[in-house]
Amino acid sequence: MKSLILNILTLLGIVQGGAPIKEGEPAYMFSLLNHEENRVNLYDYRGRWVVLYFYPKADTPGCTAQAKEYSKLMPKFEALGVKVFGISTDGVDSLRKFVQKYNLEVELLSDQKGKVAKAYGVTLYAGFCSRDTIIINPNLKVDKVYRGVDPSADPHKVLDYIKKHLK
């Protein structure tokens, strides 16, 4: 029944999704603006682990919990040399306000057209990203894909995964 509903919503243009990216595939190289209007290019992070967590909408309960949890864990990610980006279809102004309101430490990127989300197989529901996390290894290959993550648990799960794979 769920797949039938998704198919109908897809036909109506309410749900859009890209082909699911697989673990081991090259990461999709992107260039997006961050919450400070600076351009971020994924290729500049080769040689480092990168976390891309996609979330639906800034300043909503689940997204706020996830961003706060990543921010709280940011010193641990940074100590491991890991770069974390939160990505949504929100505009730069919305992202800036979200960061300022909660004093977030995580860098947020604006994917207003959803092009990067689709490239990583993230489903867009009426223009909002599903809650998925992609871990990219230092060789710029997709190392792990988590779909439909729990916003509060995701940052801890991701940190644990990276710690295990650094050994």
Give the active site residues: 63
Q: What angle do CA 140, 141, 143 make, to 5 degrees?
A: 125
Backbone torsions φ then ψ of 117, nearest 5 degrees = -55, -50
Distance CA 3, CA 146 (A): 19
72-85 per-residue burial string, b: 16 or more CB within 10 A, e: under 16: ebbeebeeeebbbb
Q: Counting Cβ atoms within 10 Å, is residue 52 exposed (0-12), middle (13-18) or buried (19+)?
A: buried
